[in-house]
Amino acid sequence: SLQHSWPESSFSLQEELDGKELQVILESIIAQLPPQQQAVYRRSKFEDQSYQEIADEEGLSKNTVRNHLSLASKFVRFKLDKILSIFFF
């Protein structure tokens, strides 16, 4: 679900944007990630898979999955903050 990608305190911004617009923005940000980070991020955030499940399916170590997810999450948050600051500040 989309809510997993947002910090709890800023999720109220969804009320300001149509859900579909928000989904399009998020998808465009995720599409900018390297393919492996994209796959790990999607499996974790949208399919609720564990590090171990992702590692097994992607042929990676759990630590690599953790690193990919950390980098991807930071990138998504940074880009999202940048885009939303244009709309709201």
Summarised one tens digit per residue, pLDDT across range 30-77 is 999 999 999 999 999 999 999 999 999 999 999 999 999 999 999 999
Give domain limits for the chain. 2-88
Q: Is residue 18's pLDDT more than 70? A: no
pLDDT at 86: 80
pTM more than 0.85 = no
pLDDT at 14: 53
As assigned by CATH, the class of the 2-88 domain is mainly alpha
> b vs e for 19-53, b when ≥16 Cβ sit within 10 Å of the residue's Cβ?
eeebeebbeebbeebeeebebbbebbbeeebebee
